[in-house]
Amino acid sequence: MQDKLQELTDRLYNEGLSKGKQEGEELLQKAHAEAEAIVAQAKAEAERIIAQANREADELKTKVAADVKMAATQSIAVTKQEIEQMVVAKAAQQGVKASMGNAEFVKELIASVVKAFNPQNASPVALDLILPDALKAQLEPFVQNEIANQFKGEVKVDYSKKMNGGFKVAPKDGGYVLQFTDDEFTQLIANYLRPATKKILFG
């Protein structure tokens, strides 16, 4: 009886030990599997983050390079334009300013323009003339005598210190002004010179 009891005890013990060992191994395997899954997931997330960081770095690098290139292109274009304007302005002004500051040449212009406002068989038109103050002494007798005598309508003359050469004319209360100043002619000539100047300067 004692032997049977011992045998039963040993058997129960061995079975329990075997079962516990098996369950322990299963738990250990499960823990290993979960740990490997966590490591794999962490590794995949790390790779994703690194790939995204590299992609963003490449995009930033590309954007910075494009911005630098655009800034350089704009800077060169602005510099070319400034050089072109300087050359054109100088070329245009050298001839224009001399001519528009010449009293005899301005007299011819005034006579031609006033004649256009004084056609045959037309009603008299009153004109406002604005002349450069620097040419007042040379132009005033001409305007008061020849222009006033030839023109049918009233001619009012003002002198401006802001004008360097040429003149402005407008029908009195007509709402518009025709400008024949050195600045206007310089701009007009510069517009014609500009394409040729570009070709000479920059090919």
Domains in the chain with CATH codes = 1-203 (3.30.2320.30)
Give the C-alpha separation, 196 to 92, whole Å: 13
| Strand spans (E) along the chain | 127-132, 155-160, 166-171, 178-181
Question: Could you read off the pLDDT of 24-77 as tens digits, one per residue?
Answer: 677 778 878 787 888 888 788 888 888 888 888 888 888 888 887 887 778 777
Half-sphere exposure of 95 (CA within 13 A, CB side): 10
The side-by-side arrangement of strands in the sheet containing 178-181 is 155-160, 127-132, 166-171, 178-181
- Residue 133 CA: distances (Å) to CA of 100, 142, 168: 13, 14, 12
Q: Extract long-range pairs of 13-20: CB within 8 Å, 24+ residues apart.
A: none
Task: Give me the pLDDT at residue 100, please.
Answer: 77
Task: Give me the pLDDT at residue 91, please.
Answer: 62
Which parts of the chain register pLDDT below 70? 1-21, 24, 79, 83-94, 118-125, 152-153, 173-175, 192-194, 196-203
Task: Give me the pLDDT at residue 24, please.
Answer: 67
Task: Give me the pLDDT at residue 196, please.
Answer: 66
Q: Which residue in the block uniquely carries the two structure tokens 């770095």?
A: 57
